[in-house]
């Protein structure tokens, strides 16, 4: 996040979307706004014991400077219009936030998140409040994958479990977002990590976050996806551990272009971003590629799986 003490007049952009398309919308917009986006679930009128039953909507929002409102609104509307050729979307809302500190508009929303037995996701402006845990310092306003979303949390928990049970020397992170999974893997002992993403902004943010966490030597990032990895032009073309925290329809597309080929026999694959009604399709993809599901975890409406590639 860009630091500034100057008070600026901001415009808040927000849009309510169905939760199964929130990642699609967010990833389309993530590189546009200067300090990224946040996606938050709406819990209005829900009792505490019903939180896990909430399935939407999701509010996606971010800020941009008022003096450049015309430019930003034009670009946002262009992206949303393109998305409307694929999905139904409501009109966005724009509201003025006067006398708001640029950084404080993000910082007031975030707190450290302990995950699993060892990890804690810490906003970059705070100290680690639990020295016994391994901190992952992330700037939540910079990109999707800040650690606050259930899909990312599930991935981090499964990643810790997988590496505790069987250490890996290399890992591939498909759709790295903020780099949070790659950073966690490096801090959990993985020596060589390749993170890829089709969004240039995600690569920039991942590199910055890796530097911030002192794991630049282990975690490398490059533009691309499965095809670029399989081409052999990147540092890794296969890995004993592969993670992909992406919505299920995209996971299915990635299987069609070779996601399963990134994992050797006896290697493991962690997938997240799956809803219950999408699980059968993902399980079919895994079975077709010779994977056996070892662990399945659920948080709210989201499911993540750890699978192992078995010998034919």
216-237 tens-digit pLDDT: 999 999 999 999 999 999 999 9
Q: Domains in the chain, please, with CATH? A: 7-107 (3.30.70.120), 148-309 (3.40.50.150)
The listed range with the strongest mean pLDDT (18-27, 140-149, 264-273) is: 264-273
Own/partner pairs, 124-131, CB within 8 angstroms, 24+ separation: 124/1, 124/212
Question: Which of 40-49, 79-88, 229-238 is predicted least confidently?
Answer: 40-49
Q: Examine the pLDDT at 54 and tell me if it is beyond 50.
A: no
Helix (H, G, I), strand (E, B) or coil at 131: coil
Read off the pLDDT of each residue in 90-97 and give the average, rounded to a whole number: 87
119: tokens are 């990890």
Specify the pLDDT at position 52: 45
| Beta bridge partner(s), residue 222 | 196
Higher pLDDT, 130 or 46: 130
Output the CA–CA distances (angstroms, integers) from residue 105 to 145, 191, 307, in the order listed.
19, 36, 40
> For 1-35, how does the pLDDT look when each residue is reduced to its tens digit (9 = 90+)?
333 334 567 888 899 988 778 878 887 887 787 66
Say how far apart CA 157 and CA 305 lie, in whole Å.
11
Q: What backbone phi and psi angles, to 5 degrees, belong to 263? A: -110, 120
Q: Examine the pLDDT at 43 and tell me if it is beyond 50.
A: no
Confidence band of 148 (pLDDT split at 50, 70, 90): low
Output the CA–CA distances (angstroms, integers) from residue 121 to 127, 162, 263, in the order listed.
11, 18, 27
> For 186-213, how does the pLDDT look when each residue is reduced to its tens digit (9 = 90+)?
999 999 999 999 888 788 889 999 999 9
Q: Examine the pLDDT at 106 and tell me if it is beyond 80.
A: no
How high does pLDDT run on average in the chain?
85
Specify the pLDDT at position 8: 60
């Amino acid at each position: 996040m860009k630091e500034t003490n100057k008070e600026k007049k901001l415009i808040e952009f927000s849009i309510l979307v169905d939760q199964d398309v929130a990642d699609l919308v967010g990833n389309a917009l993530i590189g546009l706004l200067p300090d990224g986006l946040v996606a938050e679930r709406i819990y209005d009128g829900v009792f505490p014991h019903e939180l896990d039953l909430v399935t939407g909507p999701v509010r996606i929002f971010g800020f941009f400077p008022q003096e450049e409102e015309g430019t930003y609104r034009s670009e946002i509307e262009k992206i949303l219009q393109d998305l409307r050729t694929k999905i139904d979307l409501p009109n966005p809302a724009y509201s003025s936030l006067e006398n708001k500190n640029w950084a404080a508009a993000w910082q007031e929303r975030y707190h450290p998140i302990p995950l699993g037995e060892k990890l804690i996701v810490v906003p970059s402006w705070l100290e680690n409040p639990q020295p016994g845990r391994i901190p992952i310092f992330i700037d939540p306003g910079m990109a999707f994958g800040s650690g606050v979303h259930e899909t990312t949390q599930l991935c981090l928990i499964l990643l810790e479990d997988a590496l505790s049970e069987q250490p890996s020397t290399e890992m591939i992170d498909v759709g790295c977002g903020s780099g949070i999974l790659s950073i966690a893997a490096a801090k959990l002992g993985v020596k060589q990590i390749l993170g890829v993403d089709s969004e240039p902004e995600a690569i920039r943010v991942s590199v910055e976050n890796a530097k911030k966490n002192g794991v630049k030597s282990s975690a490398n990032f490059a533009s691309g996806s499965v095809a670029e990895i399989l081409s052999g032009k990147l540092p890794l073309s296969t890995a004993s551990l592969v993670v992909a925290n992406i919505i299920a329809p995209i996971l299915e597309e990635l299987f069609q272009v070779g996601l399963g080929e990134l994992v050797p026999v006896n290697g493991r694959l962690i997938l997240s971003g799956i809803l219950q009604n999408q699980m059968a399709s993902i399980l079919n993809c895994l079975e077709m590629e010779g994977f056996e599901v070892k662990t399945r975890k659920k948080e709210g409406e989201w499911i993540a799986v750890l699978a192992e590639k078995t010998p034919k």
